[in-house]
Structure 1
Amino acid sequence: MTGPDGARRQGPLSVMWPQRFEAGHPSRSFPAYRGQRNFTGWYWSATCRGHVAYESWLERDHLMRFDFDREMIAMAAQPFALAWDDSVKGHLEHTPDFFVRRSDGTGLVVDVRPDDRISERDAAKFAGTRDACELVGWRYERVGALEPVFAANLHWLAGFRHARVMREETAAALREVFVSGAGLLHGARAVGDPVLVLPVLYHLLWCQQLAVDLQAAVLSPSAWVSQGRIGREGDGDADASAAAVGG
């Protein structure tokens, strides 16, 4: 791994696992070249208050999912490289796509790859990574595409993730309006001009201080909004986590 200070560190995972992988730098570069078919970039995470790199739009979607999930408190791309000898495939090396720190202190290691793009060698790498994670008490996920409705709603709410759209007076009024549940636009109009109120409402939905079913249908003026739950101390967010749908 490459630590926060830029220094390279290596050793058995059983020794290295206490490292703060979520604070490190990517363990390898993100190539960009003419004719490249995947889209690389940087996602600004409201959770991390900084940018996290991605190598495809699918990876970006999962960064949004982590950012939305109140159980996730930090994340990093390409956190470390693993190397081991497999009895069938021989020597294998693999760099997982993401490391995510959960609120209980445990780690989550994630590879993003659709089912139809996994070779036998890839499958062996993912299986070996899962085994390594289990040895140190981390969870491991290999995920594919998000469910389309959930992804569409997540993309929309992510546009309001930054605290700059927050107006506490308006937020307090919205929490009161939706305490027993109401239609999205009806509740917004009860507070004031929707042009001014809706950005705050969407921010509260992102923070999950207010709740809406993101799986059932694309957000609409009639979507039913109810009171959410306040989450991690100090951030004013809710602790309900987004459902992970994929690969």
Structure 2
Amino acid sequence: MGGAVRRGEAAAVDAGLIDVRFRDPLGCSRQVPWLEAAQDVVFEESPAVRPFPVRPGRRVAPGWWWSSTAGRLVAYGSGVMRTQLMLLDRDPAVVALACRPVELVWPEESRFVGHAPQLMARLQDGSGLLLDCAGRSGPSARLAARARVVAAAATAAGWSYRLAGPPDPVLVANVRWLAGYRHPRYAAGPWMPALLEVFASPRSAVEAVCELGDPIAVWPAVFHALWSGVLRVRLDEPLHERAVVSVARQEAEAA
């Protein structure tokens, strides 16, 4: 998913001079000091600071992703944003998501520069994550320079920043499949204890599914449990019916 920008690379911009622009729930634009707002404003409830353009010829246009984390639709502006949004939606450390809800503004020489990170996630510890998506050829010089400033601003506020490159295609394909079962309607419900029992020891997914009952009814529950982290499987290898699945909690305790 890419790595965080290192502190040593951060540009020499005083975080106290950085402002943040955002739109309040009523859609009104506001600009306030970043370090103050980062502690008090619920940015994940703000709409995008500016709309996502539709560019003719692009394979993926702006759209909406139903987030199982937020329980609502979250807008995205491109295919790479959708992929990173999907991966964040499955991250257990993430409790809320938004696309481009803030723009950081800072003085640079004789002008002001603004940058709106593409994604924002609220984490379990109350801090935030700002994320930009770099293309296959890597970030442009302009994005790299602005990323260093945003990384320094995030660190100063107790947040983090990530400039994410293209993720592993096998991981993306596997998570995309599981995402099709992310809605709570696919949860195992009353027979969750049986699901946990049958996977108490690592075993082939298809064997356990056939043991539980009608595969048509069981597979969706297994996929939902894999999406939500109740069950665990290797996602860096192609997902198939004989993949070895186990209870995630048990593996964590054994480690």
- The offset of 1:85, in angstroms, is 2.4
2:163 is the alignment partner of 1:142: yes
The correspondence for 1:189, drawn from 188, 195, 210, is 210
Asked whether the 8 Å contact 1:171–1:201 carries over to 2, the reply is no
- Alpha-carbon distance between aligned partners in 1 of 2:188 and 2:230, rounded to the nearest angstrom: 14
Which one-letter code corresponds to 2:108 in the other structure?
Answer: D
The correspondence for 1:222, drawn from 208, 225, 242, is 242
The correspondence for 1:106, drawn from 121, 127, 143, is 127
In the TM superposition, what are the counterparts of 1:20-99 in structure 2 within 5 Å? 20-36=42-58, 38-87=60-109, 91-99=112-120
Deviates more, 1:12-21 or 1:94-103: 12-21
- The offset of 1:138, in angstroms, is 0.5
Deviations 1:63-100 (A, max 9, x none): 1111101110001111111111235x964211110110
TM-score between both structures, scaled by the size of structure 1: 0.87
Change (3 A) 1:107 1:180: same
**Larger proportion of helix:** 2
**Larger proportion of strand:** 2
Give the match for residue 208 of structure 1.
Answer: 229
Cα RMSD of the aligned pairs, angstroms, is: 1.9
- The offset of 1:105, in angstroms, is 0.7
- The offset of 1:198, in angstroms, is 0.3
Change (3 A) 1:72 1:170: same
- The offset of 1:117, in angstroms, is 4.7
Give the match for residue 19 of structure 1.
Answer: 41
Asked whether the 8 Å contact 2:136–2:166 carries over to 1, the reply is no
User: Structure 1 residue runs of 4+, over 6 Å off?
Assistant: none
Asked whether the 8 Å contact 1:170–1:197 carries over to 2, the reply is no
TM-score between both structures, scaled by the size of structure 2: 0.84
- Alpha-carbon distance between aligned partners in 2 of 1:170 and 1:200, rounded to the nearest angstrom: 10
Give the match for residue 172 of structure 2.
Answer: 151
Asked whether the 8 Å contact 1:170–1:191 carries over to 2, the reply is no
Stretches of structure 1 that go unaligned for 5 or more consecutive residues are 231-238, 240-247
- Alpha-carbon distance between aligned partners in 2 of 1:125 and 1:95, rounded to the nearest angstrom: 10
Deviations 1:126-152 (A, max 9, x none): 111111111111000000211011111
- Alpha-carbon distance between aligned partners in 1 of 2:51 and 2:131, rounded to the nearest angstrom: 18
Stretches of structure 2 that go unaligned for 5 or more consecutive residues are 1-21
Asked whether the 8 Å contact 1:170–1:200 carries over to 2, the reply is no
Asked whether the 8 Å contact 2:105–2:113 carries over to 1, the reply is yes
Asked whether the 8 Å contact 1:2–1:27 carries over to 2, the reply is yes
Asked whether the 8 Å contact 1:10–1:16 carries over to 2, the reply is no
